[in-house]
Amino acid sequence: PEVAARIAAGEVVERPVSVVRELLDNAIDAGATRIQLAFDEGGIARIEVSDDGRGIPPGDVELAFERHATSKIASVDDLHRVHTLGFRGEALPSIAAAADVEILTRARGEPVGVFLALAEGRPVRRMARPAPEGTTITVRDLFARVPARRKFLGSPAAEARAITTLAAHYALAYPGIAFHVLNGGRRVLSTPGDDDIRHAFAAVYGADLARQVLDVAAGEGPVTVAGLAGPPSLHRGNRGGISIFVNGRWVQSRALLFAVTEAYQSQLPVGRFPVAALHLRLPDDEVDVNVHPAKAEVRFRDERLVARAIRLAVRAALEAAAP
């Protein structure tokens, strides 16, 4: 592909885990109730995401790999009220510029699926093929043609850990979706998808922890906070056990992670961090998701208000549980 496509690809696709994130987002946007993620060698050799979502109509399959061909946003106005995880139409073309991609998709109501293979971002093979309703995308040999980037990847084990961690966050973000994750053919995560966050939590952290975790449910101004937070006795050596979701989207925010920790005040041992999965809901005009192509970042109109809502909600849960 041309230089511009490669530069843009670098922004969206830094590591195998960024490919996984984009493919999961697309599956969720497609209304999937079941998502299987399989990867080999830390995702460098293969990443495959299958969903039972609405699929792509036969006439739109090639289009999905063209730059800025999103089906999700019709006008600039829509940018201010994005309710899908994707909206830039950059992910699939960027991934196809960085790896060999195959897609098998059958849209609802279509008698047969479409298989399309792409090399260097361009379609090379297309045929009709039987398929279940939904979409499977396979990404092979990531960065094989971009050696400079391949050199900066972590070990397959480190990349695999990053993918499994991301999948765990997503499983907690969407307890209504059944996630099945296979690393090198071995099942590493399986959630029931019954819309009960405790069950998703049990799948990620084990039934023992799930029994001890406390319900969080509180509101502060325009912000509501719901989910689970562990008692101080349930802690970890890093912040990786804290998942925060804003309007359904997993976000990484130092300020919000800090707010969770602060709620425990001095109850946690030094250097230990709580386990929590918190869903925040706030009005569209309080949050801007249109910050970075990798989308883990969001900007709040009033971040202190959001942090305060988290602190109060978690504190209330801890106090309610205190003897």
Contact positions vs Mg ion (CB under 5 A): 25-26, 86, 91
Q: Give whichever of 1 and 293 is closer to Mg ion, judged by the CB atom.
A: 293
User: How far does Cα 154 stand from its chain's mean position?
Assistant: 20
Q: How far is the CB of 50 from Mg ion (least distance, A)?
A: 16
CA distance 227 to 197: 7
Residue number, 85 or 228, with CB nearest to Mg ion: 85
Residue type, 304: R
Which sign does the torsion angle of CA 263, 231, 162, 88 carry?
A: negative
Question: Of ligand ADP, Mg ion, none, which one sits near residue 143, judging by CB under 5 to 8 A according to partner kind?
Answer: none
**Cβ distance to Mg ion smaller for residue 36 or 183:** 36
CB of 147 to ligand ADP, least distance (A): 25
CA proximity to 25, closest of 169, 122, 132: 169
We find the least distance from the C-beta atom of residue 30 to ligand ADP, in angstroms, to be 3
Q: Is 281 exposed, middle or buried (0-12, 13-18, 19+ CB in 10 A)?
A: middle
CB of 28 to Mg ion, least distance (A): 9
**Residue whose CB is less far from Mg ion, 82 or 309:** 82
Choose among Mg ion, ligand ADP, none what residue 306 binds, the Cβ cut-off being 5 to 8 Å by kind: none
52 binds, among ligand ADP, Mg ion, none (CB under 5 to 8 A by kind): none
- Could you say which of Mg ion, ligand ADP, none residue 300 binds, taking C-beta under 5 to 8 angstroms by partner kind? none
- Which residue ranges make up the site for ligand ADP (CB under 6 A)? 22, 26-27, 30, 51, 53-56, 64, 70-72, 86-92, 135
Neighbours of 6 (CB within 10 A): 16
Considering the complex, what minimum distance in angstroms separates the CB of residue 214 from ligand ADP? 35
Which candidate, 286, 296, 305, 312, places its Cα nearest to that of 229? 312
Number of other CB atoms surrounding residue 238 within 10 Å: 9
Least separation in angstroms between CB 14 and Mg ion: 16
- The SS3 call for residue 251 is strand
Residue 250 contacts which entry, Mg ion, ligand ADP, none (Cβ below 5-8 A, type-dependent): none
The interface partner of residue 307, options being ligand ADP, Mg ion, none and the CB cut-off 5 to 8 Å by kind, is none
Nearer to ligand ADP, 140 or 239 (CB): 140
Cβ closest to ligand ADP, residue 59 vs residue 323 = 59
**Contacts of residue 266, Cβ cutoff 8 Å, sequence gap at least 6:** none
Which ranges of the chain would DSSP assign to H, the alpha helix? 3-12, 16-29, 91-98, 147-151, 156-173, 197-205, 207-212, 254-263, 303-321
